[in-house]
Amino acid sequence: MIAAKTAKTAKIEPLLDRFRTESHREHHLLASYEGSTMYTMEDLKTNRDAQITVGSIVFFLLAFPIYFGFAAGNADGSLGGGVADYQVNGEITYVLLDSATEYVAEGTPLMETFSTDAINNADELNIVGVRISMSYGEDESGGDALGCVTGADAPDTISGTATHLEFTASADGQNNGGSGAHDVSAIWYNESMVGAVVSGLSMNEIKAELDSDGAGLGDHMMEITVNAQAGNVNPGCFDQKEDNGEEVTYTVELMVLEYTIAPYIDTSDI
């Protein structure tokens, strides 16, 4: 009985060996598809070429994300963004703070303070300046009596000052010919960059010159003064001319900058 089983096993073993060989061959055939080699775990244990290939793939899969993550972190928050040539464009819009007409007497300045608290969503605006616009006439009187010969009205000087934090600007205007107008702006951004090609700076450095980063919030002060002058009359006239001040219409506005920064491409040689 034992001899019969041994003989039977002897007949089956070659068939099993052949099956194992064919299965192993089929496994390798399945691992190759359209010329691309795929390695089995056994290959990774014994085949040096397989080990080098797979190790290289793993290295690049890990190295590329790390490299590009590092590059993005040093790209000033943009694609590129390093020191280069950039085209800067921008536009100023104005947001009304106040507007009124007041009589400003000689030697008595008109002083007012306006807060951005009166503006909805002011913290979302890139406030880069404050502008005061003024217009005025001439209210000089006198010199109308019988026998008086008068000359032209003397021009008055109207001065306006805009102040926010440490930023201050002043400008004068006159009412020659009976009327006049001028404005004054205090700003805290680099207006020379707008509409220009900026070189030698990174994108973030340019942005720092254009973005107020909340510096425009808070109180804005206005001061208007009048230096009044009266015209001349002939020496014998008892009705002398008089000028004690001027009526000034003013408008106070916040200056809001919207800007773009883009890499500059010189196409002059194309």
Instruction: Check residue 138 and give its pLDDT.
Output: 81
Q: What kind of fold does domain 84-263 have according to CATH?
A: Jelly Rolls (2.60.120)
Instruction: Check residue 144 and give its pLDDT.
Output: 55
Instruction: Check residue 270 and give its pLDDT.
Output: 72
Q: In degrees rounded to 5, what are phi and psi of residue 6?
A: -65, -45
CA proximity to 241, closest of 108, 148, 177: 148
User: pTM of the full predicted structure?
Assistant: 0.66
C-alpha Rg value of the chain to the nearest Å: 42
Instruction: Check residue 9 and give its pLDDT.
Output: 44
Instruction: Check residue 86 and give its pLDDT.
Output: 97
Instruction: Check residue 58 and give its pLDDT.
Output: 64
Instruction: Check residue 46 and give its pLDDT.
Output: 74
Give me the tens of pLDDT residue by residue for the chain, a chain 270 residues long.
434 444 444 444 544 454 344 444 444 433 443 445 566 766 666 777 766 776 677 666 765 555 445 444 444 444 458 999 999 999 999 999 999 999 999 999 999 999 999 999 999 999 999 999 999 988 776 545 555 556 566 788 999 999 999 999 999 999 886 789 999 999 999 999 999 999 999 999 999 999 999 999 999 999 999 998 776 554 565 556 667 889 999 999 999 999 999 999 988 777
Instruction: Check residue 139 and give its pLDDT.
Output: 78
Instruction: Check residue 54 and give its pLDDT.
Output: 63
CA separation, residue 200 to residues 85, 86, 87, 182, 222 (Å): 7, 9, 12, 37, 37
The number of angstroms, rounded, from the C-alpha of 11 to the middle of its chain's C-alpha atoms is 87
Instruction: Check residue 95 and give its pLDDT.
Output: 98
**Domain residue spans in the chain?**
2-73, 84-263
